[in-house]
């Protein structure tokens, strides 16, 4: 039984910005201590705004939040001592060296003398920055900078670490290295990590629990496997050679939805998404129905439901459309059709 208080608890956070922008529209989050929690959502969903409120850098219009047991509005100073923050943009001073950045950060949190020197060396070693410690940060690669950012967030041994899009902008190799690093951090005793990401794969790999955020609130929450497992059957995706008009769409949604073993037909322009009890068995019937309707198919794929399908189910649109930066794609099996 878990009797410890949550490491992060946000209730009904609302935040609007001038110009009638609703950044948060009733955000609810609970993060258990010692776990990695992922806030997954497209660009503009409200992830950074949530992090800013939880790290005391912004105030909500209404709602409440506690971090490490402290109220973010009543005791921001206590919250700040308990947390490490890695913001979406780098916080390091580019003209200082890696070591200087870490020493300065340590002093801000009251470390000095031998304990400070030890902590800085430990972090330089741990984040494989020891060799580059004496060089100015402006000469660092993207991956080195991001590793330094994480090290900076850890200098004072926080209880809760916030990572806002820790791998955005990194090349695939640096991203994989950062994933390994975050995985190791998660094994550290007691450390709670709240990370935000717009990469489906990142949330899937790193987070024990994820909350999918859309338009300023959580649309669904659970473990990655649990969320995928709730979707029955297989995900079938068909790419049409030409987009359908409104009338064709409605007609086809009806026709495909009437097929045995086929549920939840969603057609968006040239993309048809269907869930089927048995994807391989449904495929010939789906293709036959499309042929009868005079619609030609470019590609057809069957896969186990992915987080992309979970997002589609709860947000009502495909992730790649909500977030063109996401690079969302299927790793699914191509069964029919030509090149894209």
Ligand X SMILES: Nc1ncnc2c1ncn2[C@@H]1O[C@H](COP(=O)(O)OP(=O)(O)O)[C@@H](O)[C@H]1O
User: Where does this chain bind ligand X (CB under 6 A)?
Assistant: 17, 21, 23, 41, 43-49
Q: Say if CB 201 and CB 224 are below 8 A apart.
A: no
Min CB(53)–Mg ion separation in Å: 13
Provide the token pair at 240: 């049409």
Q: Which residue has the tokens 């000095």?
A: 112
Cα(194)–Cα(57) distance, integer angstroms:
16
Phi, psi of 277 (to 5 degrees): -55, -45
Min CB(215)–ligand X separation in Å: 9
Binding partner selected for residue 17 from ligand X, Mg ion, none, CB under the kind-specific 5 to 8 Å limit: ligand X
Cα(158)–Cα(137) distance, integer angstroms:
24
Binding partner selected for residue 34 from Mg ion, ligand X, none, CB under the kind-specific 5 to 8 Å limit: none
Min CB(159)–Mg ion separation in Å: 23
Complex with ligand X: residue 45 or 203, whichever CB lies closer: 45
Complex with ligand X: residue 23 or 320, whichever CB lies closer: 23
Complex with ligand X: residue 49 or 273, whichever CB lies closer: 49
Q: Which stretch binds Mg ion (CB under 5 A): 11-19, 20-28, 65-73, 81-89?
A: 81-89
Min CB(128)–Mg ion separation in Å: 27
Q: Which residues contact 135 (CB under 8 A, 6 or more apart)?
A: 97, 98
Complex with ligand X: residue 88 or 136, whichever CB lies closer: 88
Min CB(319)–Mg ion separation in Å: 16
Min CB(182)–ligand X separation in Å: 18
Complex with ligand X: residue 49 or 56, whichever CB lies closer: 49
Q: Say if CB 301 and CB 330 are below 8 A apart.
A: yes
The number of beta carbons lying within 10 Å of the beta carbon of residue 190 is 10
Cα(46)–Cα(51) distance, integer angstroms:
9
- In 3D space, the residue among 92, 96, 50, 87 whose CA is nearest the CA of residue 72 turns out to be 50
Cα(160)–Cα(190) distance, integer angstroms:
9
Binding positions for Mg ion, 34-63, rule CB under 5 A: 47-48
Cα(34)–Cα(141) distance, integer angstroms:
31
Complex with Mg ion: residue 47 or 313, whichever CB lies closer: 47
Binding partner selected for residue 43 from Mg ion, ligand X, none, CB under the kind-specific 5 to 8 Å limit: ligand X
Min CB(310)–ligand X separation in Å: 18
Binding partner selected for residue 45 from ligand X, Mg ion, none, CB under the kind-specific 5 to 8 Å limit: ligand X
Exposed/middle/buried for 340, CB within 10 Å: 0-12, 13-18, 19+? exposed
Cα(35)–Cα(193) distance, integer angstroms:
6
**Judged by CB under 5 A, how many residues of this single chain contact Mg ion?**
3
Complex with ligand X: residue 15 or 147, whichever CB lies closer: 15
Binding partner selected for residue 143 from Mg ion, ligand X, none, CB under the kind-specific 5 to 8 Å limit: none
- In 3D space, the residue among 25, 283, 322, 36 whose CA is nearest the CA of residue 198 turns out to be 322
- Residues in contact with Mg ion by CB under 5 A are 47-48, 88
């Amino acid at each position: 039984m878990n009797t410890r208080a949550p490491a992060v608890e946000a209730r009904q956070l609302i935040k609007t910005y001038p110009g009638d922008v609703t950044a948060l529209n009733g955000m609810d989050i609970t993060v258990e201590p010692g776990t990695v929690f992922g806030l997954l959502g497209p660009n503009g969903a409200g992830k950074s705004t949530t992090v800013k409120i939880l790290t005391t850098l912004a105030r909500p219009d209404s709602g409440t939040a506690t971090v490490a047991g402290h109220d973010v509005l009543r005791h921001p100073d206590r919250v700040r001592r308990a947390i490490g923050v890695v913001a979406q943009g780098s916080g390091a001073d580019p003209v200082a060296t890696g070591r200087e950045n870490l020493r300065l950060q340590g002093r801000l949190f009251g470390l000095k003398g031998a304990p400070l020197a030890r902590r800085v060396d430990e972090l330089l070693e741990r984040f494989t920055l020891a060799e580059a410690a004496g060089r100015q940060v402006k000469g660092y690669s993207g991956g080195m900078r991001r590793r330094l950012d994480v090290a900076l967030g850890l200098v004072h041994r926080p209880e809760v670490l916030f990572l806002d899009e820790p791998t955005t902008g990194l090349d695939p190799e640096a991203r994989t290295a950062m994933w390994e690093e975050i995985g190791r951090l998660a094994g550290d005793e007691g450390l709670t990590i709240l990370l935000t990401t717009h990469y489906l794969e990142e949330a899937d790999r790193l987070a024990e629990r994820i909350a999918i955020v859309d338009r300023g609130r959580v649309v669904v929450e659970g473990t990655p496997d649990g969320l995928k497992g709730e979707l029955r059957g297989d995900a079938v995706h068909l790419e049409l050679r030409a987009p359908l008009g409104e009338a064709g769409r409605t007609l086809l949604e009806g026709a495909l939805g009437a097929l045995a073993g086929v549920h939840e037909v969603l057609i968006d322009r040239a993309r048809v998404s269907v869930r089927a009890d048995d994807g391989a068995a449904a495929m010939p019937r789906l293709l036959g129905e499309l042929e009868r309707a005079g619609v030609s198919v470019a590609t057809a794929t069957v896969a186990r439901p992915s987080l992309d399908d979970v997002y589609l189910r709860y947000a009502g649109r495909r992730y790649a459309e909500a977030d063109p930066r996401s690079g969302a794609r299927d790793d699914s099996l191509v069964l029919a059709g030509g090149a894209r």
